[in-house]
Amino acid sequence: MLEAAQGVDDLRIRSRKQVNDDDDDEEEVAEESEEKFEKRVHLYAVLMLQRASGSKRDNYKDSLVYQTRKDLIVDFLKSAIVKKCQNANCSA
């Protein structure tokens, strides 16, 4: 289910671009409410779970999934060790 997890990261609230006549600037205006977005994410999750119903629980050591999990843990541990705040606007 690695592809499904990466697909969830790609989901965004749908918006349309609005052009101002004065400055020719483009603004993104939300077209989809949070409730509709939440329903879309839930539907995506249900669909992916139904597609993966044939996979077994013991298949977690798939090489690509295992390596991705390992990389994520290493990235988390590296960021947890840092004593300085990584946010640009933080004065800590």
Q: Residue 31 falls within a domain, yes or no?
A: yes
Q: Residue 28 falls within a domain, yes or no?
A: yes
Q: Residue 36 falls within a domain, yes or no?
A: yes
Output DSSP code: residue 15.
E
pLDDT digits 0-9 by tens, 13-42:
777 665 555 555 555 555 778 888 889 889
Q: What is the pLDDT of residue 74?
A: 93
Q: Residue 42 falls within a domain, yes or no?
A: yes
pLDDT digits 0-9 by tens, 60-74:
566 787 888 899 899
Q: Residue 88 falls within a domain, yes or no?
A: no
What domain range includes position 35?
A: 2-81
Instruction: Report the predicted TM-score, pTM, of the whole model to 2 decimal places.
Output: 0.49
Q: Residue 76 falls within a domain, yes or no?
A: yes
Q: DSSP characters for 17-83?
A: EEE-TTT--EEEEE-S-HHHHHHHHHHHHHHHHHHTTTS-GGGGG-HHHHHHHHHHHHHHHHHHH--
Q: How many folded domains does the chain comprise?
A: 1
Give the CB-side neighbour count of residue 1, counting CA atoms within 13 A.
19
Q: Residue 87 falls within a domain, yes or no?
A: no
Give CA–CA dist 41/34, Å, rounded: 10
**R_g of the chain computed on alpha carbons:** 20
Q: Residue 86 falls within a domain, yes or no?
A: no
